[in-house]
Structure 1
């Protein structure tokens, strides 16, 4: 959409329209606003892509969250932008679809201008300029409005920070609960450079493990790179994800003027080869992609057999910045427990003395010594345990050598566990929940854990107390297992 809008040579007055005539800031460049002020332009561009052979068009709503729109002073227009963006895309699809060939509107939810895993301050790695709760609120408003406008599915895309994406998926799940129905979700991350990682440090496989709990229609990659540099990472997802895979790369890398030079024929040749090699189910283009590119890509994949979803073994999969899979031949999993105030006097003293940077060295030593999972516990009466958990997890996120392994959030207090869940980019472990307070509490906590995408340790407690025999342990845990599998 951005490439085509640049061709339109729109003026600031086009962006402003009558609705924002008195607005006190320059609105040029706020492309999403055009769904309200120049819907005719947006509809015409959608029509061009549909005529070229697109089956799915993305709403013009990449920055239409309250957080991102605040930079233009238009935060209060976020919901209206999303509704209008979905409605204009739906109208364009209605013009051309038929019973034999439906067309679909993907309601786009972008990354926002703020990141939950990365500090904007080089002097304070634990600082964040947005909270998980703020992201959930903003994403929820966007998702709800896109559906109200007529979106057929939701696309969380150009993900540079998986914790932001997890907030979006959490918000979407809440929206579905409130509406009483759900639509398909597409998830698409962005490998930012030749390192093969998202901006927040995750590999493609770790990214997939972190968001798989959302049970998406597809997982994929888009933006930043051209198809030549993206293929390896799409191949990683194709190998590890038992859902459809998608790819909409840029038309090459940007040139010195910010344009894109990869021709439609060259891009189609690359993506056609991916399809023939069984790597993808859904293909398209991102920055620099014109209707001519889409026409060439559509022709290149016509008649190609779609990728078959792999049948994968049901292993426990966790992730930090990197994936960690527990297989039958994995032997014991080494859990580093020195970052636990109840198990390490040294760590407890460092935390109580507010020496978090020194405490971080304890975590580094655990990883260097071979820990495959890092247990983090702040259950100390003199501590603000929620704040300590939040701060320490943010510091871990700033240290790739530590953050590469999964984290086990360890507490006897649910509020501390929940604070930890809001700070984990990867798929961690909650330690623990139990049936001690009854089935209703157990199920409520389990659903929150699942919605955050974490694994969980279940303790052998029930309403009568701790299991004191092998038979009681088996009975309690079998009961808990069936509830988790059948009811959550």
Structure 2
């Protein structure tokens, strides 16, 4: 692999200053990017015949991308997100250009960096760049792609962002906890490779159903993601602020780390002209001011449908406000893809279902040896129905490929079980294979 460009010399200084700001006062980020790019009517040539691939504009029309950053900085926001939401393996592969991952990530960060530095110099107010790492189009929990493949690609994405001048990495709009983990680990590997430490922010997307796309509640997300060493967790996209309130309340009570919120401008209303977002600038500012006061947010901004005017009003209300102190009361626990299970023994003991253990259950072992995977899953479900709190999964058996068996069964248990999985093996590679299939916290 070719040697990587070094990050800008003052990257660490800016990153440390951003960490200090996020720890002491409310920081305001920008709003929607895609709609503002499309409003400037880029041509098919601008997209290099890859219609809708906004990241290509970083190379072909940096002036358009630059103008969006300028519009947000002009209304006083502290930081902007790079135009790199789709600069990841899965999204770029849809256009047959996955090899441009680093190039488009680096160029997007470089444009934002230049604009941020100009506004810092002209106003005396430090401006920062958040490197946007989007979810892509493939869900590893559902087997669309492997954990390792997207982890490594997210590392390339993050290396490009940092090399281009990003001050923080924003893993955003996440829908699958296993994809989220891959992004976070890829980002951490990028920092190690480049010798810098920038804030790592994670923003999950909770649908109107009250869960993430694959059914994960906010508690499962916090339990699975906070131990990975992220600097901040929050919500963005899918809904307006009203639908986010209860999830933010949960985070405020349970998260040990700072919080963020970047809602859409309400729920979209479909019209003949397309989707319309009804929330006014004043209403968004009202909501964010309330969230800052009640939930102790450190970072606020906007997502789909929000404009510079929305963010101007938010800036006037909350930027620079001291962070409201929180007194979280977190409860240690494990999580499946769907729910968190506290390490709390309301009964006389915590029941770990052992019937999905190849050494302890002849029935399970025979089903595994004969590749009757559905029967293995049914044995897991039987234990759920009978009141187990967690499920033991052990595939160790002489003469078997434990890594292959663990991949097969952990991948199935990830979506079939609402309970956390207890991975059980004497072999580290087998444990690793299981962890790479589980979006929850084993």
For the criterion TM > 0.5, the same-fold answer is yes
Distance 2:95 2:401 in 1: 37
| Structure 1 equivalent of residue 139 of structure 2 | 115
Work out which of the residue numbers 145, 149, 159 in structure 2 matches 1:130: 145
Alignment of 1:226-305 (within 5 A): 226-256=240-270, 257-302=274-319, 304-305=321-322
SS for the counterpart of 2:198 is coil
Paired residues, what number?
A: 405
Alignment of 1:88-167 (within 5 A): 88-97=111-120, 101-118=125-142, 128-167=143-182
Deviation of 1:100 (Å): 5.3
| Structure 2 equivalent of residue 316 of structure 1 | 332
Deviation of 1:328 (Å): 7.3
Distance 1:296 1:196 in 2: 28
In structure 2, list runs of 5 or more residues that go unmatched: 1-32
Distance 1:407 1:328 in 2: 17
| Structure 2 equivalent of residue 6 of structure 1 | 38
| Structure 2 equivalent of residue 444 of structure 1 | none
Deviation of 1:237 (Å): 1.1
Work out which of the residue numbers 186, 193, 201 in structure 1 matches 2:215: 201
SS for the counterpart of 2:140 is coil
Distance 1:348 1:382 in 2: 13
Distance 1:311 1:192 in 2: 25
Deviation of 1:216 (Å): 2.1
Deviation of 1:209 (Å): 1.2
Deviation of 1:329 (Å): 6.1
8 A Cα contact 2:54 2:83, kept in partner: yes
8 A Cα contact 2:373 2:409, kept in partner: yes
Distance 1:379 1:203 in 2: 32
Deviation of 1:96 (Å): 0.9
Q: Establish whether residue 386 from structure 1 lines up as the match of residue 410 from structure 2.
A: no
| Structure 1 equivalent of residue 432 of structure 2 | 418
| Structure 1 equivalent of residue 74 of structure 2 | 51
Deviation of 1:30 (Å): 0.4
Work out which of the residue numbers 57, 69, 81 in structure 1 matches 2:104: 81
Higher RCO (CA 8 Å, separation ≥ 6 residues): 2
Work out which of the residue numbers 198, 205, 211 in structure 1 matches 2:225: 211
Work out which of the residue numbers 361, 364, 382 in structure 2 matches 1:365: 382
Q: Establish whether residue 189 from structure 1 lines up as the match of residue 204 from structure 2.
A: yes
Deviation of 1:214 (Å): 2.7
Mark the CA change 1:101 to 1:327 in structure 2 (over 3 Å): closer, same or farther: farther
Q: Which string of whole-angstrom CA distances, capped at 9 and with x for unpartnered residues, describes residues 158-186 of structure 1?
A: 00001011111111222222223311100
Distance 2:292 2:188 in 1: 31
8 A Cα contact 2:295 2:326, kept in partner: no
Distance 2:103 2:260 in 1: 29
SS for the counterpart of 1:231 is helix
SS for the counterpart of 2:47 is helix
SS for the counterpart of 1:72 is coil
SS for the counterpart of 1:216 is coil
Deviation of 1:397 (Å): 2.5
Q: Which string of whole-angstrom CA distances, capped at 9 and with x for unpartnered residues, describes residues 349-386 of structure 1?
A: 11112111011111011111111111101111243221
Q: Which string of whole-angstrom CA distances, capped at 9 and with x for unpartnered residues, describes residues 311-353 of structure 1?
A: 546x532111111221476752211110001000111111112
8 A Cα contact 1:234 1:279, kept in partner: no
8 A Cα contact 2:262 2:302, kept in partner: yes
TM-score using structure 2 length: 0.88
TM-score using structure 1 length: 0.80
8 A Cα contact 2:255 2:328, kept in partner: no
SS for the counterpart of 2:275 is coil
**Two-structure CA RMSD over aligned residues (Å):** 1.7
Q: Which string of whole-angstrom CA distances, capped at 9 and with x for unpartnered residues, describes residues 280-305 of structure 1?
A: 22111001110001011112224644
| Structure 1 equivalent of residue 8 of structure 2 | none
SS for the counterpart of 1:258 is strand
Q: Which has the larger radius of gyration?
A: 1
| Structure 1 equivalent of residue 88 of structure 2 | 65
Distance 2:347 2:52 in 1: 52
In structure 1, list runs of 5 or more residues that go unmatched: 17-25, 119-127, 429-488
Distance 2:244 2:91 in 1: 27
8 A Cα contact 1:276 1:305, kept in partner: no
SS for the counterpart of 2:309 is helix
8 A Cα contact 2:248 2:295, kept in partner: no
